[in-house]
Amino acid sequence: MLETTTTTIAHRKAEYEKQLKSAKEHIIGIEALLERLNNCTQPTMRELYNGVDKYITYDIVKSKGVKILDAGEHSKASIPSIESRVANVTIKDGIYLGPTQIDAVKTYLFHLHQPDHVNITNSL
C-alpha cells in the first residue's frame, strides 16, 4: 500500500512540474508579445487612408483551380477550371493594426485589385 501511495505522489508531482513548465513557457511567450506591442505604433484611420503602403506590403497572386461541382453538375464531360486572385498582405514590422484597420485594408485591396481572397499576416 505504501508503494502505491508513493507512486501516486511521484506521478502527481511530475504532472504539476510539467504543468508549471508549460505555464512558465506560456508566460515567456506572452511577455515577448507584450514587449513587441510596446515597440509598435498604431496608425490612426486617417493615417492609414492617407498612405496604406507605409504600413503594409502586399502582392497579388493569380492561381488556377478546379471548380467544385454541385450535385446537379456531376455529369458534365469536362470540369471547368477557374482563375482566382489572392492578395497576400504583410503588416510591416513595428506596426499594429486592429480589427477595424484590417477590415479597412481588405476593403482597400478589394476596391483596388478585386482579389477573390485576402490573406493578412500579422506579426502579432
Q: Is the dihedral of CA 46, 50, 51, 56 positive or negative?
A: positive
Indicate if 82 and 122 belong to the same structural domain: yes
Indicate if 3 and 45 belong to the same structural domain: no
Indicate if 82 and 124 belong to the same structural domain: yes
* Count of structural domains within the chain: 2
Model pTM?
A: 0.67
CA distance 15 to 97: 39
Q: What is the pLDDT of residue 106?
A: 94
Q: What is the pLDDT of residue 40?
A: 94
43-75 pLDDT tens trace: 999 999 999 999 999 999 998 776 666 665 555
70-109 pLDDT tens trace: 665 555 555 667 788 999 999 999 999 999 999 999 999 9
Average pLDDT, integer, range 16-27: 96
Tell me the residue range of the domain where 95 lies.
Answer: 41-124
